[in-house]
Structure 1
């Protein structure tokens, strides 16, 4: 049986999802419950910010990857517009470092798309009631990282190595990275090699994949 709403009206939800079929399925699932109401749908960070101001939702249910940005990064902007709004991130895949970023930026939680729609409904209700909700598979990692007991992947990258990683993520070659950083080719190679070593990657492509999974790249 659904948990009672903490509001004297349905929980107002802004859904931010750029895939129409997914958004439609989520809307249908949420609105079958009388205590939940999707007041608006958005397909981008920019639209989400505009709609949050216009509709004043209780909960923003936001996809992590959107055409114009990262949903996790947008949490701070949403909360600046509406300090009381609760932001629940919906992700296709997640990691402890991504979930920790959600918590650190004031998000109310993260749930994986692989979970059932009934779990999503429950998460929305709990978030609206003031709880912080993280997927059970990530919760242990979140607590470890936030308490400093477990450093995140890539936490030991130097600022220069982070720059090299960002350029790798943009698809630049080692020669181009060296040029962008204003260093000799051998120095650029060394930066890239240290990035691979610190991420536990065997190739540049694997390094970018790991970095995206861990939330190190937008």
Structure 2
């Protein structure tokens, strides 16, 4: 009688550690923050940090090598915004779920995470227990969002609310990006190849559409709403 084949795990199932803990790849470039998060996760009985990446590029390699159950991904990394990299991380380690960490969150950012295939968004300002529980939730296939973000994200995704900045024209978005780089009206005019008065009009409309009273406030609002990296 031929031997009975050994059942194979589905391709999208990521195994836990040998002792049954949820394996985690931490993507965070700041040493002190990474160490605090690692200690908070490792001190539990069911969570285990198996690796740390300093950049998105390293994270893709490490995810493919380690195949963690969960990637805890800092949004702002030296080589870019983490949200657009979610799909690539999931492709690198099939079955891996991605939980994003951010210093500033909003329903708009939460909606971006969801649209990109992320499983959740946790604010760094929250307590470490929230992060621990978030990892457990996403490992179990559930969403994990800091308080107030999930409902707003669903509203954005279903069109029940209009995101700040949705009415910006392409040229106004260009203007906003340059404001985010710290440029003044004169330099923006030169970059865009338009008259200074035209640029001032663009800036004023950006402020009005974002509900901001100053260029600095417009940049703060835009970052909070995910309009700027």
Say whether residues 1:31 and 2:42 are aligned partners. yes
Task: Specify the SS of the correspondent of 2:148.
Answer: helix
**How far 1:158 sits from its partner (Å)?**
0.8
Residue of structure 2 equivalent to 1:54: 65
TM-score, normalised to structure 1, is: 0.92
Match of 1:168 in 2: 179
Instruction: Give the TM-score of the pair, scaled to structure 2.
Output: 0.87
Corresponding residue to 2:203 among 192, 197, 201: 192
Give me the whole-angstrom Cα distance separating, in 2, the residues matched to 1:106 and 1:118.
24
CA distance in 1, matches of 2:128, 2:219: 31
Q: Aligned-pair RMSD on alpha carbons? A: 1.6
Deviation at 1:10, TM superposition (A): 1.8
CA deviations over 1:134-171 (Å, ceiling 9, x no partner) = 11221221111111001111111111111111111112
Equivalent position to 2:153, from 127, 142, 149: 142
Write out the 4+ residue segments of structure 1 that deviate beyond 6 Å after TM superposition: none
Q: CA deviation at 1:99?
A: 0.7
Aligned partner of 2:223 among 207, 212, 216: 212
Q: Distance in 2 between matches of 1:209 and 1:15?
A: 27
Secondary structure of 1:14's match? strand
Q: Secondary structure at the match of 2:132?
A: helix
Greater Cα offset, 63-72 or 194-203: 63-72
In structure 1, what is the equivalent of residue 5 of structure 2? none
Alignment of 1:11-160 (within 5 A): 11-160=22-171
Deviations 1:40-80 (A, max 9, x none): 01122222122112211111001122222112222132123
Report the alpha carbon displacement of residue 29 of structure 1 after superposing the two structures with TM. 1.6
Deviation at 1:201, TM superposition (A): 1.1
The gaps in structure 1 that reach 5 residues or longer are 1-5
The corresponding residue for 1:183 is 194
SS in structure 2 at match of 1:142: helix
Query: Residues of 2 paired with 1:190 and 1:123: CA distance?
Result: 44
Q: How far did 1:194 drift?
A: 0.6
Alignment partners' CA distance in 1, 2:49 and 2:58: 15
Q: State which drifts further: 186-195 or 76-85.
A: 76-85
3-state SS of 1:136 partner? coil
Question: In structure 2, how many angstroms separate the alpha carbons of the residues matched to 1:88 and 1:187?
Answer: 42
Aligned-pair CA distance for 1:207 = 0.9
